Amino acid sequence: MYTHADLIPDQLPVPPPPGTQRFFFALDSLAHPALAATPASRFFRNCWKENLHYDVDSRQGVIFNLSDKYLLGTLSVVTVGMAPHHVMTAMKEVCVCVCVCVCMCAYMKHTTVP
């Protein structure tokens, strides 16, 4: 695994200058019935694999807000990007990931291994 010290300085991510305009898209209640039965660790692992996370260097990405409602199958999501189409695309990917992840977890829970 490489660290920032191993990279050529020109290849390091350059954060946008302060005051750069960003766009946000927030959903207060993204719900799926099987989400309550999905362990949060598995959900976040799948989101990470799908590149759905917040990058603190570029100050863009997806922010998940978990609360007690997670146990009821609901979570809140905010996407942050440099253009409106970036935040819309990211939110669509989050919705797909939620559906796929929880359905896979529900399937795996009800499937026995021989």
Specify the pLDDT at position 3.
42
Question: Cβ distance 62 to 90 under 8 Å?
Answer: yes
Strand 54-55 and strand 60-65: the pairing is: antiparallel
Per-residue pLDDT of the chain (114 residues; tens, 9 = 90+): 334 444 444 555 566 677 788 999 998 888 887 788 888 888 888 888 888 889 988 889 999 988 777 778 888 899 999 999 999 999 998 888 877 766 665 555 554 444
Alpha helices in 50-83, H assignment, sequence order: none
Residue 77 backbone class (left: φ over 0; alpha: ψ -120 to 50; beta: rest): beta
Q: Which letter, b or e, does each residue of 65-103 get, where b requires 16 or more Cβ atoms within 10 Å of its Cβ?
A: eeeebbeebbbbbbbbbeeeebbeebbebbeebbeebbe
Residue 51 backbone class (left: φ over 0; alpha: ψ -120 to 50; beta: rest): left
Written as one letter, the residue type at 9 is P
Question: Cβ distance 21 to 29 under 8 Å?
Answer: no
Domain 4-110 has CATH 1.10.10: no
What's the pTM?
Answer: 0.70
